[in-house]
Amino acid sequence: MRSSVIVFPGSNCDRDIAVVLEKLQFKNSMVWHKETTLPKSDLIILPGGFSYGDYLRSGAIAAKSNILNEVIKAGKNGCLIIGICNGFQILIECGLLQGALLRNSGLKFVSKDIFVRVQTNKNKFFNKYKNGEVLKLNIAHNEGNFFTNQKHLIELEEKELIPIKYCNEKGSIISESNPNGSLNNIAGILNKNKNILGMMPHPERMADKINSDQKGLPLFLSLMN
Amino acid sequence: MKFSVTVTLKKDVLDPQGKVVSQTLKNMGVENLNQVRQGKFFEIDLDENDTSKGHDKVKEMCEKLLANQIIEDFKINKAE
C-alpha cells in the first residue's frame, strides 16, 4: 500500500499518522501543499492541525491549495481518502464531503477522550471492527459540530454513510455524550461511494500500546486488505 | 471600485457566538434585545469601473471562497 500524507502550514498530526503508517509497512510519502503532483497513492490522508491558522473558516484556505486539485481528482477516481479533524474540515471545504463543521455548541475547544460506536462496518475503513463496537478515541477541536441539510442527513442515515457516532462508555448514543453539538451525534461521515472518510476523532493517537488500547489501529489495518 | 460583503449564518443555523454576545448584552442591562447574530465583514477593492461586472466578480468570490453556502448567506453592497 502506498500512502500520502498531505502537509499544510499549521498541520500538527502529520508525523503521528506517518509513524502509524510506517509501522504498518505502508510506503508513505509526506506531500507539501505547494506540490502540483501527487505520488502514486492508494491512500491519501489529510491530517489534523490548524492549516493556515484556521483563517476565514477552518480548512477553507487549505481547500484551495495546489495539491488539493490532485486530491480532488484522486478522490473522484476512487482513491481512498481519510480526513481527520482539520482534514475533515478541509474535505468539506473542498466539496469532497457535504455538510459543514460549525463551532462547537459549547463554544469551547474540546480536547479529551471520548467514545464512539461503530454504526456500520460495511465500508473499507471500519471492516476490522464489529458493528456496535465502542471505541475510546481522542478529540481536540473547536469546530466539530457537524451540520447539514435534512435531505443529506436522511441520505447519510439511510445509506449507512455514518460509520461512527459519539456515545457513552456503554455505547448509548445520547446527547450527554455529544461533545460538540453535532447533528445526530455524528463523529464521522463517508461520501456516497464510500471511498472518502471524514472524522473528527484522531485514530492515530490510539494506535500505540504505550498510551492506549490501540482502538485506532484497526482503521488503518482495514485498508491493507 | 469598492464593495463590502457581509457573511452571516443562515437563519436556521445555530449561532453560539451570537447567543453569548446577546446574553452578555442582557447581563450588561441592555433592554428590549431580541437577538444578536454574529457575522463577518469584508472590504473588497477592485480595479474595475463597471459596477455590474464588479458585482459579478464579488459574487463569484463569495460563492467560491468567502461564504460556505450550506451554512452562510452573503450580502454584497457597493461602497461609496
- ipTM above threshold 0.85: no
How far the first Cα of chain B sits from its last, in Å, is 9
pLDDT tens, A140-166?
999 999 999 999 999 999 999 999 999
Is residue A94 flagged as an active site residue? no
From A179, A88, A176, A81, select the one nearest A139 (Cα to Cα): A179
Indicate the pLDDT class of residue A70, thresholds 50, 70 and 90. very high
Whole-number Å distance between alpha carbons of A75 and A96: 7
Q: Which chain A residues are Cβ-neighbours of B17 within 8 angstroms?
A: 103, 107
Count of CB atoms situated within 10 Å of the CB of B34: 5
Q: Which chain A residues are Cβ-neighbours of B68 within 8 angstroms?
A: 57, 60, 93, 100
**Cβ distance A139 to A114 under 8 Å?**
yes
Classified as helix, coil or strand, A100 is: strand
Whole-number Å distance between alpha carbons of A129 and A135: 9
Indicate the pLDDT class of residue A225, thresholds 50, 70 and 90. low
Whole-number Å distance between alpha carbons of A3 and A93: 22
pLDDT tens, A7-32?
999 999 999 999 999 999 999 999 99
Interface mutation target, options A55, A57, A97, chain B, most CBs of B under 10 Å:
A57
**Mean pLDDT of the residues in chain A:** 96
Q: What value does the mean pLDDT take over residues A91-117?
A: 95
Interface mutation target, options A56, A90, A104, A189, chain B, most CBs of B under 10 Å:
A56
3-state helix, strand, coil in chain B (%, to 5): 35, 30, 40
B2-78 CATH = 3.30.1280.10
**Cβ distance A85 to A114 under 8 Å?**
no
Whole-number Å distance between alpha carbons of A160 and A184: 13
Is residue A13 flagged as an active site residue? no
Q: What value does the mean pLDDT take over residues A60-76?
A: 96
Which whole-number Å values give the CA distances from A27 to A80, A156, A171, A181, B5, in the listed order? Answer: 15, 32, 35, 37, 46
pLDDT tens, B33-42?
999 999 999 9
At residue A102, the pLDDT reads 92
Q: What is the pTM of this model?
A: 0.92
**Cβ distance A63 to A38 under 8 Å?**
no
Residue A110, strand partner residues: A141
Which whole-number Å values give the CA distances from A186 to A81, A177, B4, B10, in the listed order? Answer: 19, 11, 36, 21
From A147, A81, A116, select the one nearest A215 (Cα to Cα): A116
CB pairs under 8 A between A and B: 33
Q: Give me the residue from A57, A98, A105 closest to B14, CB to CB.
A: A105
Q: Give me the residue from B17, B70, B71 closest to A107, CB to CB.
A: B17
pLDDT tens, A170-192?
999 999 999 999 999 999 999 99
Beta strand A164-167 with A110-118: parallel, antiparallel or unpaired?
antiparallel
Q: B70, A105: Cβ pair inside 8 Å?
A: no
Sorted by where each starts, the structural domains of chain A and their CATH numbers stand as 2-104+143-159+188-222 (3.40.50.880)
At residue B70, the pLDDT reads 87
Domain boundaries, chain B: 2-78
At residue A216, the pLDDT reads 96
At residue A99, the pLDDT reads 94
Whole-number Å distance between alpha carbons of A92 and A3: 21
Backbone angles phi, psi at A178, to 5 degrees: -90, 110
Whole-number Å distance between alpha carbons of A76 and A26: 22
Which parts of chain A fold into alpha helices (H)?
A: 14-23, 66-76, 86-93, 150-158, 217-222
